[in-house]
Structure 1
């Protein structure tokens, strides 16, 4: 099957997805038309199509306790979306998202979208999914405390009105043009069951196990110990290939990889440290897949403090970072040099022309022009507030980040900034960040922050990349006005690219390395793992029939 003849060939109002196979490999900015998931989805009885053994149970180590997957609290997308589904799949990080709970998503004018739902979807408790659940989800996210998903409803974009047209049709109207709604918002926000959450008065305190429409039910969560998921045999896209998922919580990487080596677990969500990759590759009973995760370690800058409040000073910091040395020395050449700035270059929404090059001499000259000189000859420049001596904080439990912080401090000293690394524990680092009592720190950021084009904007309002409107930023605010006025994906992406150029010329977060993510697993237990953009290997698409995942555009073919 190919794109149906009645699929509108347009990127503005009138764009829709209908029942045909997806058009792969088309960048969203250049896409002429959107097509949809086909009959693979309705073939519920299909097999994996890969010759993969289908075990009854898998043991997969996770690094954190995310609680009972209350999405208003700390959660992890790959686990959350074992339980829940979105209207569009697989995520906002994919090249060509396809309707999932929806059968059609249609942009009828710059502010209005029509959504038609599948009629064969039920919640885990047997209740049918209807348009009322979609309307409830939109209204609910306007009322609950701000979190990962709320900005997609309340700010970027701002869904002003939701109307239930019949049992399986909904109309969404935005306060301003929302061309990204189909490919980003609806590809990220989980649909919530009205019959469950409408009666919960304090949703952030809710600790009952979740009810979703997804391929797995969370049947047990033991705090600090682990999770147990059971397959949903009535899943509309096909019965999952593994009946039970046991996920012990193992925060310590050494313990995790010892357990993988000895066969106590079958896979892990943590990436192998660079120094262990070859050892695991050479093991007869372990397979290692190299993925391209949408995440990176970054140097965060407190732009509220002088001299970091000066955009030219922040630019000098960026020019002083030798990212190639970091890649070769700290990450042993695994991954890529982070010289293409922020957001992640593999996001389909990132400006491909971004560059952030190592220019130590230009950094020194810039600091000279700003009046920061080494008057006493001790190697550290001085300014109005005294010597440019700063601490870079880092979580001491992550050795590779500690090594990166130490090297960054050395590189800053080369241009006359007296930086030193200081390790603190995870809790202390979190408290420090909340208090804003720091100059610099090193941490990691994941796909939502570095690959979602609307989150990039929201991060300028949340205090992460900036703190609008409390801290004025006229240049960005002017571009945001243009962004809101843009009515097509092409026009909006063009403004987004200019925003990214502005950010990288005066960054408040500096990417240090674009990692490759080496993930190990035991193939005799299960060999059906596939990479999905932003999610590694452990996610619903590895556990559904292969043709279903391929039809949804959910798979990146990994290097082995």
Structure 2
């Protein structure tokens, strides 16, 4: 499901709007129109043009601190922004300036050839590339990386699924790598853009588990334009420009990724001009910035939709969530219209598709059940869920309809959405506890399937391999966290993976989405635009919705006069 597989939670802050009530179930069904709520927020021309000037420090807010810096294991969205293509490079990468195609361009591979039967890719590696510790980069490092990626003992399940049909990795000489596939795979080249190549010498003597816990994962060594400088837990991750880089060097001297989970503190730092980039604005902050002259005097405000959807996932391994009728009833108790308007400021779109909502994989005929408390109550009754002991909570066969939903600590907006949902559930005789957990604990509990429900956001690409999220084979160690298993979905996923024609794949994708929405392993919430502020002193900015901001391309205008 991922461009670079990434599970990442909203870490936004927004106070619950008073009076979040509904007058009736038959309230207006007017569709969301974010364009009615948001003034166009685009990057101005002067932020994208001019000749770069090196120097200075780029200050980026991260609202969730990663558990490690090893993108190969348990990747998330911030890791892709911090280390991927900045510190650790891949054989190829998506061209961030090529929206909406994002064709693959050379990185550590200078060129490549694909065989006529699409089963063999031969890569010629760049000459003269050195690791940040001075060791030469060779095909041995590439083969080592793929050997570890395919090692079941390595915690790389999120990436490994994209290489299930990779038959062999060969290194005939120091500058040649050959990848052989069992069968043609439509995303073979694109998957390579999300695999960071690691130095074999940094893991000498370490087995699979040792690889997972290696010091490298907290202090990575790469070949990219920036090198790891330091990490003060809870404060900041710092990268410095690598002057020995094989390609065009980075412009800023340092990148400081400052950990600021609380939105109020981030707002204060923005007012002081102490941040250059904040991509985690709450809807309230994003809309409110229009009326804050101090912010607008110092920052550009922008927004764009990438491929994402937020969700509540039910752990289908646990009762009572194995019953799709129950899951559909629970979906009818989430008021997306009210939450979207009153908590999200009307800037989000209700999600009815698990793929890129603006792409051909989605259609307007597929819809998740609408908010309908009376229908939900009827469905619960029909499924045997009744309050037999008068405690206000429905039960069935002695099992109360009571569960907990995990919310990442610091994700105030998600927490407020869950509290609004909690109130609706309580009125229908369903007890839901909102449990806030730190990100590192959350990812471990998801990995070990120790949860009832959770709420997160998936980010992806315009089109990608759906097996990682939706094939039953990925429920053990892949990103099929909820344990979804459907013979029809499996068959559709396998058909998509085998289909060469994009238009035929799009039809199969739409059928898969309809199957998933009907089965309801997730309660789909919203497609959220990414909202940001960037300092007016920055240049080199360009819009790249699926690749976000490219920090390596940014530079600081020495002529900028702060206000």
Q: TM-score normalised to the size of structure 1? A: 0.74
1:501 corresponding residue in structure 2? 514
Q: Is the 8 A contact 1:287 1:520 kept in 2?
A: yes
Is 1:143 the counterpart of 2:147? The answer is no
Change (3 A) 1:325 1:120: farther
Match of 2:536 among 523, 528, 533: 523
Match of 2:407 among 394, 407, 411: 394
Q: Is the 8 A contact 1:66 1:74 kept in 2?
A: no
Q: Is the 8 A contact 1:135 1:162 kept in 2?
A: yes
1:557 corresponding residue in structure 2? none
Deviations 1:469-511 (A, max 9, x none): xx86433343345455545655555544433322121122223
Secondary structure of the corresponding residue to residue 310 of structure 2: strand
1:77 corresponding residue in structure 2? 80
Match of 2:320 among 303, 307, 316: 307
Match of 1:113 among 111, 115, 121: 121
**Which runs of 5 or more residues in structure 2 are unaligned?**
1-46, 557-563
Match of 1:383 among 381, 396, 408: 396
Secondary structure of the corresponding residue to residue 149 of structure 2: helix
Change (3 A) 1:395 1:530: same
Q: Distance in 1 between matches of 2:242 and 2:379?
A: 60
Q: Distance in 2 between matches of 1:71 and 1:223?
A: 18
Deviations 1:277-312 (A, max 9, x none): 244343212222213244443212121233321122
Q: Is the 8 A contact 1:177 1:486 kept in 2?
A: no
Q: Distance in 1 between matches of 2:481 and 2:282?
A: 32
Q: Is the 8 A contact 2:240 2:253 kept in 1?
A: yes
Match of 2:194 among 188, 196, 218: 188
Q: Distance in 2 between matches of 1:112 and 1:487?
A: 16
Deviations 1:408-462 (A, max 9, x none): 2334456x34244434342775676567565433334444899763432465453
Superposition pairs of residues 396-545 of structure 1, within 5 angstroms: 397-413=410-426, 416-426=428-438, 433=446, 436=449, 438-447=451-460, 453-457=466-470, 459-462=474-477, 465=480, 473-483=486-496, 485-486=498-499, 494-524=507-537, 526-537=538-549, 539-542=551-554
Q: Is the 8 A contact 1:105 1:115 kept in 2?
A: yes
Match of 1:225 among 231, 235, 259: 235
Query: Shift of residue 535 of structure 1?
Result: 4.9
Is 1:86 the counterpart of 2:94? The answer is no
Query: Shift of residue 541 of structure 1?
Result: 4.8
2:362 corresponding residue in structure 1? 351
Q: Distance in 2 between matches of 1:136 and 1:543?
A: 35
Q: TM-score normalised to the size of structure 2? A: 0.74
Match of 1:266 among 258, 270, 276: 276
2:256 corresponding residue in structure 1? 246
Q: Structure with the greater relative contact order (CA < 8 A, sep ≥ 6): 1 or 2?
A: 2
1:61 corresponding residue in structure 2? 61
Change (3 A) 1:371 1:530: same
Match of 2:168 among 148, 161, 172: 161
Change (3 A) 1:170 1:425: closer
Q: Distance in 2 between matches of 1:85 and 1:463?
A: 23
**Which runs of 5 or more residues in structure 1 are unaligned?**
1-46, 545-560
1:291 corresponding residue in structure 2? 304
Secondary structure of the corresponding residue to residue 533 of structure 2: strand
Query: Shift of residue 77 of structure 1?
Result: 1.0
Aligned length: 489
Q: Is the 8 A contact 2:447 2:481 kept in 1?
A: no
Secondary structure of the corresponding residue to residue 189 of structure 1: coil
Deviations 1:145-191 (A, max 9, x none): 3434x5544665331211234444332122343221112x1121112
1:213 corresponding residue in structure 2? 223
Q: Is the 8 A contact 1:450 1:456 kept in 2?
A: no
1:3 corresponding residue in structure 2? none
Q: Distance in 1 between matches of 2:239 and 2:315?
A: 41
Secondary structure of the corresponding residue to residue 108 of structure 1: coil
Secondary structure of the corresponding residue to residue 349 of structure 2: coil
